[in-house]
Amino acid sequence: MQHFRVGVLEIEIRHNRVMKAFYSDHFVLPLPEGHRFPMAKYSMLRERVARELLGVRLLEAPAATEGELALAHAPDYVLAVKTGSLSPQAQREIGFPWTPAMAERSVRSAGASIAAGRVAMREGIAGNLAGGTHHASANQGGGFCVFNDIAVTARVLQMEHFRATKLGLQVLVIDLDVHQGNGTADIFATDSSVFTLSLHGEKNFPFRKVNSDLDVGLPDGCSDEAYLVALDDALAQVSQRFQPQFVIYLAGADAHEGDRLGRLKLTEEGMRRRDQRVFDWVRAQGLPMLICMGGGYGHELSQTVQVQMNTWQLAMDHWLHWQNRGL
């Protein structure tokens, strides 16, 4: 099977057909010395993808426009981020001090997901090497999230799909970051065209959660088998309650046992099996999908990046299946 996969990949590359991944890590966010956010993980991941996944083409993220951002965020908030007029309290909620570089990186990170979503609609799957900023709500940021790339991308794709077809687009968000997707849940609270699933640590941040369409809160110390049973049950419930046409998968690495903020106990193999469950479920539905990375705060940052690399390897396999479906 491995030889078959490599052979097919060589054919796809020869015909200039490759999976697309968008990056924004070269728009560096300068942080104070000792800041706890591990900014280096983004460049570490991009370097490994470039070196090890020859079937992935890395593309620079475009900037999301103000109009695109305003599909999910209040225009006044978008303007405050762009112009540097965020209050000190708003900056503390986000966790980053405002700088022009912070604003630029934020619009690029959202733009990466928009661009990847557009490609995924045509080619089955594409991804953002960052993104997954699910704590940002319509009027404010939070938890290291400035703009909610998931919500913005869903709204952009829905708008463009309607323009092209005069039909709606049902979007499923599978949020497997260890922290509940409160911002995404808040933005889509009254929008039945987007279904939000969040599998997260029940006692972890955010401590004031916003109800998703389906929340699965897990206890501290949750291990591989218990997690996978919960995920299988959640996906089965989604199948009964919603008929998606597009999937956004937030593949947070922070459920890994080596994460300093995660509080769950999934092994690297358990994380790989988690991702495989999602890809298998999406493949069975025949749905296009966008993947983004979400959180990851490993005691050893190389462990976080390894978990993310495993996700990208499985995504590459998924892309190959999509390109060769029916053969």
pLDDT band for position 241 (50/70/90)? very high
Q: What is the pLDDT at residue 9?
A: 56
Residue 3, pLDDT above cutoff 60: no
Residue 2, pLDDT above cutoff 80: no
Residue 190, pLDDT above cutoff 60: yes
Mean pLDDT for 229-253 is 98
The 10s digit of each residue's pLDDT in 136-173 is: 999 999 999 999 999 999 999 999 999 999 999 999 99
Q: What is the rounded (10 degree) CA torsion for 262, 202, 90, 128?
A: 50
Domains of the chain, by residue range, sit at: 20-27+38-323
pLDDT band for position 35 (50/70/90)? confident
Q: Between residues 4 and 13, which one has the greater pLDDT? A: 13
| CATH architecture assignment, domain 20-27+38-323 | 3-Layer(aba) Sandwich (3.40)
Query: pTM higher than 0.85, yes or no?
Result: yes
Q: Percent of the chain having pLDDT more than 90?
A: 89
Mean pLDDT for 30-47 is 89
Residue 11, pLDDT above cutoff 80: no
Mean pLDDT for 266-274 is 98
Mean pLDDT for 117-133 is 97
Taking the C-alpha atoms of residue 50 and residue 45, their distance in angstroms, rounded to an integer, is 9
Mean pLDDT of the chain: 94
Q: Between residues 21 and 30, which one has the greater pLDDT? A: 21
Residue 5, pLDDT above cutoff 90: no
pLDDT band for position 51 (50/70/90)? very high
Whole-Å CA distances, 257 to 110, 223, 263, 316: 28, 9, 7, 25
pLDDT band for position 36 (50/70/90)? confident
Q: Is the Cα dihedral 306, 20, 60, 290 positive or negative?
A: negative
Least confident of 30-34, 45-49, 294-298: 30-34
